[in-house]
Amino acid sequence: MERFVVSARKYRPQTFVTVVGQQHITTTLKNSIKNNHLAQAFLFCGPRGVGKTTCARILAKTINCFNRTADTEACDECDSCKSFNSGQSLNVFELDAASNNSVEDIRNLIDQVRFAPQLGSFKVYIIDEVHMLSASAFNAFLKTLEEPPKHAIFILATTEKHKIIPTILSRCQIFDFNRIRLDDISNHLAYIAKTEGITAEAEALRIIAQKADGGLRDACSMFDQMVSFGGTTLTYKTVIENLHVLDYDYYFKITDAINKLDSSNVLLTFNEIINNGFDGHHFIAGLGEHIRNILVCKDQATVQLLEVSEDVKKKYLQQAQECGMQFLLKALGIINRCDVSYKSAKNQRLQVEIALLQMSYLNAAPVEAEKKNDDSQNVVQQPVSTAKKEPLTAQKTNVLAEETPQYKKTDKPVTSFKDLNLTSGFRLGQAKQVVQQSAVTEEVPVKEIPAVQNEEVTLEKFRLAAAAYARDKNKMQITALLRAEMITRMDDEIAIIEIENLSQRESFEPFRQEFLDSIRKFCTNNTINFRFEEKKQDGTTKKAYSPIERFEAMIEKNPLLKDLKSRLDMELDY
Ligand SMILES: [Zn+2]
């Protein structure tokens, strides 16, 4: 196939009316030309590839045209227009400040400004990426900008308006260029495709437009690339494969599974996405966008905010009917938290999976609360009962050995949670507990949390657990503190460790969390806790408070605090 002409250049607009998506600017410019109120200095601001330089060139051509149309467009026929169209006009001068930013470069330009044009009435100086000019170049330029000759017009273009010094800003008429709307870009691509005799699926063009993120030039060059891969037919499939875009069908599928409490399918679909080489963070951000799109479909007034093709819009409207408002809002909250914590997470894949499971349980929680006393409703409760059968026994061995849990890739087909083969620490049963607890506490009062998998912890068991930790730690001060006789009693689910003085508690502080984790694993009880009490001379004891203990004391007075803690997803600083 014949090499495709770079469409961004070939289809660069030659008149104001063909500029894509910047009507507010072209209209104003045309009006100023018509009324002879043209400023002498302009600042064109906006993202890359949205038409800043194109507009500057059209302006230069139009004001030099000898025979402007009634609609204030260049005629494209007079000598001046012809010289512009063939790129030979001496009335337009372009300087790319990104590569020519020295005082010398600016002086060369200033020298030329003095001379009046030979053909036409204006000389237009376009300085691209003007924020890149050095400070001294800026200063040299300032004087010319203050008192330009009548025939000179300056158009400064920048992607970074905030870097332009106020003295320049105050001397320019400023135009803010928009990111170009998806529809505008895909329509433009459709026009190019039609003119070039290329059959392109609307969805294919839309994906290109989406990926270009408001930049028409980028969209055009991606389009060119795709055409050179795919020839005269451009399909959605070719485009998502070549641009490495995640198929939106995945988002529909996974949202459907989440909504239907089908957590196995949720995890399997996510697994497929990861296996296709997509990044978890990319996926979760995309899912957020997807949920947002469903959300705007919930309201007739906001449906217009949906930037998708008609076919996909139908799918969104359909899914919007299936999802509850509460569910969508909470899901967005979960996605947002996952997005924020993703970067700092040790096991990033797990972060996404927890978020997905949490979402899956959003719909389960109220059902659980309603049907709590009705054992015949086993179908709905199934996810919970699965977790019940899977206590944390396996963790008694292998407690602190592995730091970063990872999935092992296996070739064998994955048919259940267990097949996903977590190699350590955070097993799926545990993930499910976390998910259940958080999902349930969001929906029902704290007291009604079913005590699922916690085993009873006797004083003896706690002492054994403490001894095991002390032995592993092999540190004198810890061994001394965790001797059996120091652990005097169980106060409900809190073990009391008696100490001689407060400094003992402080020296233990760095180990507190690790100790607690170890104890909880050893005892198969996720809520067991402990506190220190100071032994008084007279034999009585006094509570020695740490932050967690203070919080627990507060909860005793006001149980709602615990609810608040889980709702805000707070972590206590131990
Ligand atoms: Zn002309």
Distance 245 CA to ligand 1 centre (A): 44
Reduced to 3 states (helix: H, G, I; strand: E, B; else coil), residue 305 is helix
Confidence grade of residue 417 (pLDDT, cut at 50, 70, 90):
very low
What is the DSSP code (8-state) at residue 301? G
Beta strands 494-499 and 487-491 are: antiparallel
And the tokens for 549?
Answer: 């203990």
**Per-residue confidence band for 189, with pLDDT thresholds at 50, 70 and 90:** very high
Residue 410: which pLDDT band, with cuts at 50, 70 and 90?
very low
The Å distance, Cα 61 to ligand 1 centre, comes to 8
**Ligand 1 center from residue 184 Cα (angstroms):** 28
Sequential DSSP letters for 368-425: HHHTTT-TT-HHHHHHHHHHHT--SGGGGSSSSS-SS--BPP-SSPP-SGGGG-B-SS
CA–centroid distance, residue 33 to ligand 1 (Å):
14
Cα of 231 vs centre of ligand 1, distance in Å, is 37
CATH fold, domain 22-176, is: Rossmann fold (3.40.50)
Residue 305 CA to ligand 1 centre (angstroms): 40
CA of 94 from ligand 1 middle (Å) equals: 20
Give the β-pairing of 41-45 and 92-96: unpaired
**Which tens digit of pLDDT belongs to each residue from 86-135?**
988 889 999 999 888 888 888 988 888 988 888 888 999 999 999 998 88
Each domain of the chain, given as residue ranges in start order, spans 22-176, 182-242, 459-567
- Report CA(121)–ligand 1 centroid distance (Å): 12
- Give the Å distance between the CA of 73 and the centre of ligand 1: 8
Q: Report CA(342)–ligand 1 centroid distance (Å).
A: 57
What are the distances in angstroms from CA 307 to CA 148, 319, 416, 444?
44, 16, 37, 37
Q: What is the mean pLDDT of residues 175-201?
A: 91
Closest CA to 141 of 99, 174, 100: 100
- Residue 88 CA to ligand 1 center (angstroms) comes to 14
Query: What is the CATH topology of the domain spanning 182-242?
Result: Helicase, Ruva Protein; domain 3 (1.10.8)
68 CA to middle of ligand 1, Å? 6
Instruction: Report the alpha-carbon distance of residue 534 to residue 519 in Å, rounded.
Output: 21
At 450, is the pLDDT very low, low, confident or very high (cuts 50, 70, 90)?
very low
% of the chain surpassing 70 pLDDT: 79
| Cα(64) to centroid(ligand 1), Å | 7
pLDDT in tens, 313-356: 889 999 999 999 999 999 999 999 999 999 888 899 999 999 99
- The full DSSP string for 102-141 is SHHHHHHHHHHHTSPPSSSS-EEEEEETGGGS-HHHHHHH
pLDDT digits (tens, 9 = 90+) for 374-393: 444 444 444 444 444 344 33
